[in-house]
Structure 1
Amino acid sequence: MKKILSGIACLLLLLTLGSVFLESIWVFDLIASGRLQYLVALAGLGLVAAISGARAAALILVTAALINGWFVAVYVLKTPPALVEGEQRISVTFHNVKQLVPDLAALRNFVETTETDVLAFTELRAGDAPAVRAAFTDFPHTAGEPGEYSIVLLSRLPLSTARVHRLDDDGPSGTTLEVRVCAEGDARCIALVALHPAPPFNPGYHTHRNIHVWATANLASRIAAEPSIDGRIAMIGDFNFTPWNVIYKETLVLSGLRDAMVQTWPHSTFHSRTAVAGLALDHIWVGEKTGLVQSHIGPKARSDHFAINAQLAIDFEPTR
């Protein structure tokens, strides 16, 4: 029994190390996505090993648990974006509808509760788009295009710019929607970039997801630096990675943005509200002059993803 536990412990430690140092390999990237679940499993097995008297196995399992736990702890100890000075508020909601007709009543209630100004969808089928637009006639301004890896955006506020950026490759996804949402004409705008890259279920999709997210993070960084935007930006979408993935930290740093969905405990936006039974795949990142009032996780509305919302405060004072 002790030899079996030691063998399992060594394998799990190797998989943990692979998820840290070999995340460029898609299998290890998937393992990293489930780091929280992995941590719970390691803790359970470590307890079994300790009770069984398999001290070596217990020590190895504790080591693997500490490595995974470090990633979780770094995230939950993050400070959410502070509330910036500024009177302008904007509420942004994003939902992956999973190519299903959404429960529009549930979604409508969430939109009203959060006082949503901008509503973005991904995996919205072309045939379902008219019904969604008809349910949100008070969002007259639209941008984007329906599709599995595309974004449709509805806004109560005027849009001064709407561009669909496309990657120059043959991957399954590759479109990023850029819009400028304006409060008082072009002089008072916040930029939004939205994307849904492919899930990393095989080597090709994994590579393509990384390229797509890196390109969008770089785009967000350039837009944030524009004098007319000056840090008033949000990057939203189903990024198909969790806060435990190495690419999360790398692209967050590249974009220069902050995670508006940071909470005091791990959260989930996919499959289950319980973090251990789900994954935090959907994100809202914000710029330097975009502060967080409050974030919300809403209904599934027939999808396997929960709608997410961030109520933001925008600083329109010029940088001194």
Structure 2
Amino acid sequence: MTITDAPTETRPARRRVVVTVLLWLLVIPAAVWFLGRAFGLERGILVMLVAFTPYVAAWSWIPVLLALIGRRWAAAAVAALVAFGLAVCVLPRALPNLDTGPSAGVELRVMTANLLFSGADPAEIVRLVRENDIAVLAVQEFTPNGESALAAAGLGDLLPYAQLAPEYGASGSGLYSRHPLTDPASRRNDGGFQQAYGTIQPPGAGPVFVESAHPLAPAHPTMLSGWSADLREQPSADPDAAPKILLGDFNATLDHRLLRDLIATGYRDAADTAGQGLIGTWGPYDGDPIPPVTIDHVLVDERIGVRDVSVHGVNRSDHRALIASLTIPAAS
């Protein structure tokens, strides 16, 4: 071997080291993301980022492919475990559950819509209510102007009973119903948003508690304490009380531990149950360059069955409307 040959012979080895390091630089962030998601370790800015876990889950297969092509078996094995773990976290939302809850009872169709400071087209909201036979409508970011606009569009003819707490800005809340509301009221959560609620009893059914949910958005580090408090303070499911339906803009996805903890008290997520849990409900719908995420939910007591779920665009809102067809317990 000559002196001039040595650098030439070491180039493949150096290139191999560089490629290996680059592959691990792709694998490690995905592994950290998976561990944070699996153990509910989101903190600070990660609270906002974890909403995009489905996109990371799709991307995580790229390091697997690159490691296999490069024959970096250790990196490929770790990458494959991470990608599989993220798939387990995310993929079931796109598959209908085997257990959709009771099928016998009274059908109830509900809808939730964030109105974006009541800038959403009121005629479109009323059309969705009419065409989908909606019996309960929950609205968020509900202002006095929005209340007047929905009334002028004829919402009261379809849903004559209501508990309304309109406020200028994003904090207003409303609950409209085809059926009388018992003990209607509104409460202000820790983050400052109103949440309208009441109990309905459709013909042939037992009483059902419904609430328009709207925890504070975790849009800034100073808002995280309000966001977490609001999610923790959402009404838990209670098998000894009337079944509950929480519907609204939860400002959280199923990748947030606090929302999963709420569901674990005895709820099912209607969209997840119906295999529609990866359909985006907030994001680019008013022109903002944000990937769609699923932060609007209909949570139903496990005594309530889920028949179907659909998502609908609403003109002049950054949210899409979420409609769920449910089966509520018959009167005993």
Alignment TM-score, normalising by the size of structure 2: 0.81
Separation in structure 2 between the aligned mates of residue 44 and residue 32 of structure 1, nearest angstrom: 19
Whether the 8 Å CA contact 1:178–1:192 is kept in 2: the answer is yes
Query: Which entry has the higher C-alpha Rg, 1 or 2?
Result: 2
Q: 2:6 maps to which residue?
A: none
Q: Which 5+ residue runs of structure 2 have no aligned equivalent?
A: 1-17
Structure 1 residue 143 and structure 2 residue 154: aligned? no
Whether the 8 Å CA contact 2:206–2:329 is kept in 1: the answer is no
Whether the 8 Å CA contact 1:84–1:315 is kept in 2: the answer is no
Q: CA deviation at 1:52?
A: 4.1
One-letter identity of the residue aligned with 1:102: A
Q: 2:271 maps to which residue?
A: 261
Q: Where does 1:1-320 land on structure 2 (aligned, <5 Å)?
A: 1-2=18-19, 3-21=21-39, 23-76=41-94, 78-79=97-98, 81-86=100-105, 88-135=106-153, 136-138=155-157, 139-147=159-167, 148-167=170-189, 169=190, 171-173=191-193, 175-184=194-203, 188-218=206-236, 221-222=237-238, 225-226=240-241, 229=242, 231=243, 233-254=244-265, 256-262=266-272, 263-264=274-275, 266-271=278-283, 277-318=291-332
Separation in structure 1 between the aligned mates of residue 57 and residue 327 of structure 2, nearest angstrom: 36
Q: CA deviation at 1:242?
A: 1.2
**SS of the residue aligned with 1:107?**
helix
Q: Which 5+ residue runs of structure 1 have no aligned equivalent?
A: none
Query: Aligned residues: percent identity?
Result: 22
**SS of the residue aligned with 2:119?**
coil
Separation in structure 1 between the aligned mates of residue 302 and residue 34 of structure 2, nearest angstrom: 34
Separation in structure 2 between the aligned mates of residue 95 and residue 48 of structure 1, nearest angstrom: 42
One-letter identity of the residue aligned with 1:63: L
One-letter identity of the residue aligned with 2:163: A
One-letter identity of the residue aligned with 1:212: D
Q: CA deviation at 1:117?
A: 1.3
Whether the 8 Å CA contact 2:173–2:212 is kept in 1: the answer is yes
Q: CA deviation at 1:278?
A: 1.8
CA-to-partner distance for each residue in 1:40-72, whole Å, 9 max, x for gaps? 111124323433444444333323212211211
CA separation of 1:191 and 1:61: change in aligned 2, threshold 3 A: same
One-letter identity of the residue aligned with 2:181: L
Separation in structure 2 between the aligned mates of residue 247 and residue 80 of structure 1, nearest angstrom: 23
Separation in structure 2 between the aligned mates of residue 206 and residue 110 of structure 1, nearest angstrom: 33
**SS of the residue aligned with 1:132?**
helix
Separation in structure 2 between the aligned mates of residue 76 and residue 281 of structure 1, nearest angstrom: 15
Alignment TM-score, normalising by the size of structure 1: 0.84
One-letter identity of the residue aligned with 1:313: T
Q: 2:11 maps to which residue?
A: none
How many matched pairs? 303
Q: CA deviation at 1:145?
A: 1.1
CA separation of 1:225 and 1:204: change in aligned 2, threshold 3 A: farther
**SS of the residue aligned with 2:117?**
coil
Whether the 8 Å CA contact 2:60–2:82 is kept in 1: the answer is yes
Q: CA deviation at 1:25?
A: 1.0
Q: CA deviation at 1:126?
A: 2.4
Whether the 8 Å CA contact 1:22–1:28 is kept in 2: the answer is no
